Amino acid sequence: MGAANAKVSEIVAMKLSGHDLACIRGGRRVFRGVGFSIAAGQALVLTGPNGAGKSSLLRLIAGLIRPAEGRIALEGGDPELSVGEQCHYVGHVDPLKPALTVTENLAFWARFLNGAREVDEAGLVERGLEAVGLADLAVLPAGYLSAGQRRRLSLARVLAVPRPIWLLDEPSTALDAASQERLQRVMHAHLSGGGLIIAATHGPLGLAEPEELRLGTPSTGRADSRIARDTDALDATQ
Amino acid sequence: MTALTALFARDARIAIRIGGGAMMGVLFFLTVVTLVPFAVGPDLALLRRIGPAILWLGALLSSLLALDRLFANDHEDGSLDLILMARLPLELVVAAKAFAHWVTTGLPLVVASPVLGLFLNLEPTALSAAGLTLLVGTPALTFIGVIGAALATALRRGGLLLPVLVLPLTVPVLIFGVAATNAAVAGPVPFDTPFTILCALTLMSGVIGPFAAAATLRYGME
């Protein structure tokens, strides 16, 4: 984590904001008029019922879907890179190949996400696996991992490559108590290093005073997170 | 190791480890080639004449076998999201994946083709000409195929959509691949003429394929 924090804190006064965002999936409006703003060291927690658009908002910030209206702005980031290229995205499935070992899976993402940069991948992988408590399973094919272990391997990827913005979709799913505590620790470390976290969640993540953006219920959230009423029962994750 | 070589190594390693790529393609190739003599009868002169065409048809069908999983697997496990978000040009990513796919499925077909050619009573000139045209031509099949693979993934349809889309586009490659092999054996045109056109088709598809597939993924995955 030390290296990742040093890297992140070089980027001073980052500020990520969304203005008047609307999202349409499959011809149906998931949300509209959603806005948020977080600065370096802050976390934003997205809450709301199933289908309220939590995952859609994360994918929108990641650049995987385009907003129907509104825009996302990042101040203080790397001007050469798009917002998505400065984000870590942990979705609801874990991008692991069952035929590859735990080490090979993590080493691939560490290399791939670092791009052309020269990295000490063996060291990164070792530290990443140790940070999530998977060092003992390093040579096991990922196909044999449990759901919680898969999730931890996904989080190891986030730790292995420094990125200032973390987009986490239900990060604590399938994690046991010890791993949830570990997740809290690394999230705190990321925030105190000047990073930003946006997490969609149903339960508490243990973050100290995160901003909350409630999606899916009209006029109960913050003033700028109004939401259309036509969002019932739409699974907006795809 | 850079990001692209890492992607190439990962795809190649998965294809070799799960055994679905190289061996299945070659076995399917073997099956197609051995079926033909059963259908046309044991006429050695006829087999020798249509042998190059059979080799090319077999290779064409075999090269499409595993292609529909090229992006679909990455889509299902969320890898494609991270690949789309990466700092690399998507065109290069597609090209690296296509190259890995060709090395693990196309190249074994090329290596197997002389042995299968013996089943069809091909003479040594025809064997080497067929091998050479397949070596040059199968990358074109893969690079055209990635467009279909990207479309099948974007439309979330697997199965027969890919061959139906891709096979018509491979007709020029098939024509000049077989024509070059026949020219080497019987003439009357020199081997070089159709062969250079085949090379040109491969180079063109190597450019068009990754760009078209990347555009499909970029706009289709939303």
ipTM of the complex in this document: 0.78
Do residues B79 and A89 touch, judged by C-beta distance below 8 A? no
| Helices B90-101, B69-76: crossing angle, 10 deg rounding | 120
Interface of B with A in 31-70 (CB under 8 A): none
Q: Do B81 and A94 touch (CB under 8 A)?
A: no
The pLDDT of residue A189: 85
The pLDDT of residue B136: 92
**In this complex, is the C-beta atom of B219 within 8 Å of any C-beta atom belonging to chain A?**
no
**Average of per-residue pLDDT across A10-39:** 81
Distance to chain B for A114, nearest Cα, Å: 7
- Give tens-digit pLDDT for A116-171: 566 677 777 888 788 787 778 878 888 888 888 888 888 888 888 888 888 888 88
Residue B48 neighbours by CB under 8 Å, 6+ apart: B120, B121, B122, B123, B126
Superfamily designation of domain A2-97+162-214: P-loop containing nucleotide triphosphate hydrolases (3.40.50.300)
Q: Do A111 and B13 touch (CB under 8 A)?
A: no
Judged against a pLDDT cut of 70, whether residue A227 lies above it is answered with no
Q: Which pairs from A133-138 meet CB under 8 Å and 24+ separation?
A: A133/A178, A133/A179, A133/A182, A134/A102, A137/A102, A138/A101, A138/A102, A138/A103
Reported confidence tier of residue B197, pLDDT bands at 50, 70, 90: very high
Distance to chain A for B160, nearest Cα, Å: 24
- Residue of B71, B76, B82 for testing the chain A interface, max A β-carbons within 10 Å: B82
CA distance B99 to B139: 8
Distance to chain A for B109, nearest Cα, Å: 23
CA distance A115 to A110: 9
**In this complex, is the C-beta atom of A84 within 8 Å of any C-beta atom belonging to chain B?**
yes
Q: Which residue has the tokens 């289908």?
A: A51
pTM score: 0.82
Chain A: residue whose CA lies nearest to B17: A99
**In this complex, is the C-beta atom of A217 within 8 Å of any C-beta atom belonging to chain B?**
no
Do residues A42 and A187 touch, judged by C-beta distance below 8 A? no
Q: Mean pLDDT over all residues of chain B?
A: 86
Q: Mean pLDDT over all residues of chain A?
A: 77
- Residue of A102, A112, A237 for testing the chain B interface, max B β-carbons within 10 Å: A112
The pLDDT of residue A238: 38
CA distance B51 to B59: 12
Q: Do A95 and B84 touch (CB under 8 A)?
A: no
Q: Do A113 and B86 touch (CB under 8 A)?
A: yes
Cα torsion at A156, A159, A163, A164 (round to 10°)? 120
CB atoms within 10 A of CB A228: 16
- Domain spans in chain A, listed from the N-terminal domain onward: 2-97+162-214
Do residues A134 and A102 touch, judged by C-beta distance below 8 A? yes
How many helices (H) and strands (E) chain B has is answered by 11, 0
Q: Do B77 and A95 touch (CB under 8 A)?
A: yes
Judged against a pLDDT cut of 70, whether residue B57 lies above it is answered with yes
Q: Do B10 and A81 touch (CB under 8 A)?
A: no
Highest mean pLDDT: which range of A151-165, A191-205, B39-53, B206-220: B206-220
Q: How many residues does chain A have?
A: 238
Identity of the residue in B17, B78, B85 whose CB atom sits nearest the CB atom of A85? B85
Chain A residues within 8 A of B83 when measuring between CB atoms: 112
The pLDDT of residue A118: 65
The pLDDT of residue A234: 41
- Residue of A65, A81, A97, A124 for testing the chain B interface, max B β-carbons within 10 Å: A97
